[in-house]
Amino acid sequence: MAAKVYNDYFFDEPAFNTHDGGYVPLEVADAPVSPLAIPPLLKPDKQTDTDIWYTVTAQAGETQILPGAKTKTWGYNTSLLGQTIVYPVGKHIHVTLQNHLSELTTFHWHGLIVSGPYVDGGCHAPVYPGESKQIDFTLDQPAATTWLHAHPCPSTAEQVWHGLATMVLVTDQHINDLPLPHNYGVDDIPLVLQDRRFHENNQWDYHADYDPDGVQGPTALINGTVNPVFDVTTQKLRLRILDGANRREWRLHFSDDLSFTQIASDSSLLPEPVQLTHLMLTCAERAEIVVDFAGYHDGQTVTLFSDDVPIVTFKIHAFAADNTTIPDHLLDIQRPTVDPSTPVRKITMSGMDESVMMDNKKFSMQRIDATQPVGEAQYWDITNTNDMDSGMVHPFHVHGTAFLVISRNGHDPYPNEHGYKDTIGVNPGETVRLLVRFDLPGVYMYHCHIIEHEDGGMMAQIQTYEKGKPMPKYKLMDMDTLMNAFAKERGIKPEDLWMAGMDSYRKMGMKM
């Protein structure tokens, strides 16, 4: 029997960002087509059978994105975005974090199950200009497409907007043995989806574009490329897609309504592949899809659209026949058992613009909002209290774990949400039940991943601990120290400092 093909985006259409008052529609840029930039793989400093060493450097530079003046950008080991990092499961990984920027930053490993708050790289792990720090960890999680981005609250949104985001591929023997495209840059392709507005001399101006509900721009950048073209030389392509935008949702479909197979989401393979013609990603979500071009021939093109705007052109060349098939079963999902006596954790995301909050509070860097024992599974009910008719989808992200989606308003999750995830879009008026277990002690953040919303206070912290042991004390960054550091680095007085999110606190009469 032929597999069912899903032809809709699943999410509630009235909540699409196209209905936002501040929505910025994508436009085809008046610029020539360019080859899709494929980030090179970051080379290890050295490796042994058991260990691997990397150096990751945050740096400023200039990038030729449009004709004319180069754009001032930031990146990891390059001028914009970053070189793709590969972490094998089971190896002990050593990373030197270098900051060559003019201001402090952090290195957040979004989707990696590592200890918090320091290795995880949230706001409590600053690396100051000219400084290097060492972290190390061993991964014990399924293979996945994860990513690295800056997370120095309340400047996360601005630093990501400058370009600090890159893919991190977690690999293991299981995924390497599956009959999937594995040749990075040839048939295994990263797609980082972002958008920007170009101002005078092709520059970005975050302050000018600022919107507390999320900064958007009319020009799509795919791996930092405007109007990209990719030369297809194999029958099948594996696309690792990341919504790396500050605010934009991407509603993806191909020309001819070409169907494709989703094989993975944020934190793992799906248990079974899902056939789709349409795919919506909210901020920070990932999807791996396999596209089969068997029906096309040399000289034809296939276009990937977001809504009705073309964002990538695939130019077909002659290719050898590929008769491999994707297995009907990809991954065994081990669902943890929840003790019936364990209470359900109830979390609310509320507000829009400056009024955004988590559980009716704005984020405070030194406040622990919840605790959970390591190894103890718990249901979390995530409710978006926005109005169904005028609210927005809030993507909910948890650091340091991968969760399972149990239900949406008591019904089954969407068909492509049955693998492990770390980010989930929650519709207005909806409650999504998650099954959450932490494997490592630490302090972890959870927040809306519309990045301006997390900077504006829709964020909280949970401390995980080992039962029977004293609760550890962590040195948590305080806002005054952070703001004074940013002001000093920018050569201004703290009272003259403007950063994303500050207005959200001030307009509600709150201290950051």
Q: Which residues contact residue 294 at a Cβ distance below 8 angstroms, ignoring those fewer than 6 apart?
A: 235, 321, 322
Please tell me the distance from the alpha carbon of residue 203 to that of residue 209, in angstroms, as a whole number. 12
Average pLDDT estimate for 473-483: 91
Each residue of 223-271: pLDDT tens digit?
A: 999 999 999 999 999 999 999 999 999 999 999 999 999 999 999 999 9
Each residue's pLDDT tens digit, 30-56: 999 999 999 999 999 999 999 999 999
Query: How buried is 256 (Cβ within 10 angstroms: 0-12 exposed, 13-18 middle, 19+ buried)?
Result: exposed
What is the reported pTM? 0.97
Does the pLDDT of residue 144 top 60, yes or no?
yes
Handedness of CA 498, 503, 506, 507 (dihedral sign): positive
Q: Provide the β-strand partners of residue 444.
A: 462
Looking at this protein, which amino acid is placed at residue 368?
I
425 DSSP β-pair partners:
395
DSSP 158: H
Q: What is the pLDDT of residue 190?
A: 98
Averaged pLDDT, 273-297 = 97
* CA distances from residue 52 to 95, 234, 267 in whole angstroms, order as listed: 9, 32, 22
Domains and CATH numbers, the chain: 5-14+179-316 (2.60.40.420), 36-172 (2.60.40.420), 345-465 (2.60.40.420)
363, 457 contact by CB (below 8 A):
yes
d(C-alpha 277, C-alpha 5), whole Å: 7
**Where residue 512 falls among pLDDT bands split at 50, 70, 90?**
low
Give the separation between CA 283 and CA 248, rounded to whole angstroms.
Answer: 7
Q: Give the model's pLDDT for residue 281.
A: 98
Cβ-in-10-Å burial (0-12, 13-18, 19+) of 300 comes to: middle
Whether residue 506 is predicted with pLDDT greater than 90 in this model: the reply is: no
3-state secondary structure 259-271: CEEEEECCCCEEE
d(CA 229, CA 367): 47
- CA-to-CA dists, residue 84 to 22, 46, 148, 186, 299, angstroms: 33, 16, 9, 14, 30
Q: Which residue has the tokens 């985001």?
A: 165
The mean per-residue pLDDT over the stretch 468-476 comes to 92
Residue 13: what are its φ and ψ, rounded to 5°? -60, -40
Q: In this model, does residue 333 exceed pLDDT 70?
A: yes
- Nearest-CA neighbor of 104 among 484, 444, 460, 475? 484
- Please determine, for residue 509, whether its predicted confidence score (pLDDT) is greater than 80: no
CA distance to 105, 156, 262, per residue, from 150 (Å) = 6, 6, 28
Confidence of residue 1 (pLDDT cuts 50, 70, 90): low
pLDDT in tens, 418-471: 999 999 999 999 999 999 999 999 999 999 999 999 999 999 999 999 999 998
- Catalogue the E-assigned strands of 7-143: 34-35, 46-47, 51-63, 71-76, 81-82, 85-88, 92-99, 108-110, 132-138
Instruction: Tell me the C-alpha distance between 505 and 363, whole Å.
Output: 10
What's the pLDDT score for residue 223? Answer: 98
How high is the pLDDT of residue 21? 87
Token readout for 19 is 């209905």
pLDDT tens string 195-213: 999 999 999 999 999 999 9
